Structures are given as C-alpha cells and as structure tokens.
Amino acid sequence: MKIGILGAGSWGTTVAHLLARKYDVTLWARDQSIAHEINQHHLNTKYLGQSELSPRLQATSDLEIAVIGKALIIVAIPAQNFRDVLTQAVGFFNSDAAIISLSKGLELKSGARMTEIIASVCPNHTRGVLTGPNLAREIMSGFAAASVLATSNPKDQEDLQPIFHSPLFRVYTNNDVLGCELCGVLKNIIAIAAGMSDGLGAGGNTRSAIITRGLAEMTRLGIAMGAKPETFAGLAGMGDLVATCTSEQSRNHQVGVALGQGQSIKAITEQMFMVAEGIKSAQAVTQLAARYDVTMPIATEIAHVVKGDRDAQQSFRALLKAGIGREDEPF
C-alpha cells in the first residue's frame, strides 16, 4: 500500500515513521530543508530532536509527489491551514483514496471540524480521524500508546484499523466521528487552563478539579451537538485530556504554564514554532457553546485570556466566584 502524509510536524512525522515500517510512505513537508534532512539523515530535528526515523520513509516538498497514486492520505496540517493545503492537493488524489485527519482544532472562520472540511473539499472520499493520548516523542522513544480511529462506516474501520495498529500503538475503532473530533479540540482548551493552574502554583487539587470539571464541559457540549457521552470517557476524551493536561510535552499545557507565570499570549506565540491548537480553537468553541446554549465557564475564561481581555489570576478568580450546586451543573 502507498500512503501520503501531509504535514511534517512532530505528530505527522511520527505517524509517517510508524507506517513506513510496513508501507510505502511519502511525507510532505512545506519546508524543503526538513524533507532533505529526513531523506538524507533520517531525522526531523526541528520537531523530534535526535529521534531516528525509519530509513524507508521518503519526504518531499512537492504536494503532487506526496499524494499522487496513494490509496490513503493522512492530513496532519494545523487547523487554520488545513483547508488551503487540502484544496491544493485534492486534484492529485486517487478517486478512491481514503482521507484521515490527525489535526485537533476547529477552523476559526467557519467553526468547521476537519472531517467537515474534508467533506466539503473532497465530498466523494472516505474520511475519518485518528485521535487519542499520543505524545509524539514518547511514541518515538518506543513507549506504548493507544489511539482511536473514528469513521462512520464499519467497513472502513475494518479496512483501516490494521494499517495503523501495531503492538506498541494500539488502535481502537469508534463510529462517533463528531465526538472523537470534539474531544481532540476541547481537551486543548482545558489543557491551557490546567497549565495556567500549574504556572500559578495552585497545586494538584486545583489541577484535578480543572480536569474533572473540564471533562464535564466537554461532555455537555458534545451531547448537545449529538455526540455519544461514552466517547468522552474513552481514549479520545478522558485519555487525551489527562495526557494533555499533565505532560510537559503538551504544547497547550506549556502555553497555560507561561500564561500562569505572567507572560502575554503575544510573547508566548512569538516564541513558539509549533502550533498550540487551543489558542485558536478557544474562540470558536465559545461560539459553538453559545449556538447550542451550553454553559462552559472554563472554556469561556480561556477564550478571554488568549484574547488578552484578562490575565490568568483574573480568570481563576472569576471561576472561583461561580455559584456552587450539583456536580452535574456547569461549575
């Protein structure tokens, strides 16, 4: 099988490495120097340090070469650039190619999820999402991990699951595409809040409260939009939420820590070369919450902070002033 992967960041490169051990994989990098380094030295030092990549992996900065003749297209492009790259590439796709998203964000201008963008740009193609608690550097180091492959068609799940699955990368299936994608989007915002708590030195109890109440917010919005509640208790939901809220490797958690330590969002983003999807998604999520009449106090406060309307301390004070009630109420 021939596979094309769009996006040579940390996660796109990691998935390319995993699949290249069994399949013919071509990885598209926007930066020609990254493609050259992968081909010549089997490294992507910008995103994965000295982690050695499969020598079978081929990289290119030519979109056509990356996707033409491929049976499976995997897209690991940041959410705000996802549509543009897909639109440029779709003319070279095989008519029967399946398209799987690795991206965990919402398009800010439309509020669209990545599979909705795929449906718009490539309406006749099988589409799905691979998501879960997958910290790239841990997987590159050989540690075990699990993920969820979500498509709406059981036959597609049956065909695609064995492609991604390996003894150290366990892949489960799910037909709740909406829920799995929402989990990937929403957990990034809660991770910023957990990072802010850590940056402020608030302690483990506060972090646990944020994670737990954050999961409640995530689930409420998901149910309102038609997702399955059990999805939020699984790998895509609780699993990814815990990993992202507690790991120093999490970019969104790092953003939150820096905010808690008093840095401005402008200063933080200027220092980053990798995308923290929660920064852009926060505003889109609050718009979704308003549309579906769902109360999301944590996400709302993070949206204020990333817009620069409030600092971390002000947002935490606002959350602590919220009324108390039943555990199944907003906060």
**What is the per-residue DSSP string for 171-237?**
EEEES-HHHHHHHHHHHHHHHHHHHHHHHTT--HHHHHHHHHHHHHHHHHHHHHHT--GGGGGSIII
Active-site positions read 187
pLDDT of residue 321: 80
Domain range list for the chain: 2-142, 179-320
C-alpha distances out from residue 3 to 7, 19, 30, 64, 287, Å: 13, 8, 17, 13, 36
pLDDT of residue 159: 97
Does the domain made of 179-320 have the CATH classification 1.10.1040.10?
A: yes
pLDDT of residue 250: 92
Cα angle: 168, vertex 79, 44; to 5 degrees: 50
Q: What is the pLDDT of residues 245-285, one digit of tens each?
A: 999 899 999 999 999 999 988 889 888 766 777 788 899 99
How far apart are alpha carbons 312 and 85 in whole angstroms? 35
Residues of the chain with pLDDT under 70: 273-274, 323, 329-331
Q: Give the H/E segment covering residue 59.
A: strand 58-60
Supply the DSSP symbol for 145.
Answer: E
**Closest of 159, 138, 134 to residue 148, by C-alpha:** 134
CATH superfamily of 2-142: NAD(P)-binding Rossmann-like Domain (3.40.50.720)
pLDDT of residue 330: 57
pLDDT of residue 106: 93
Residues in the chain: 331
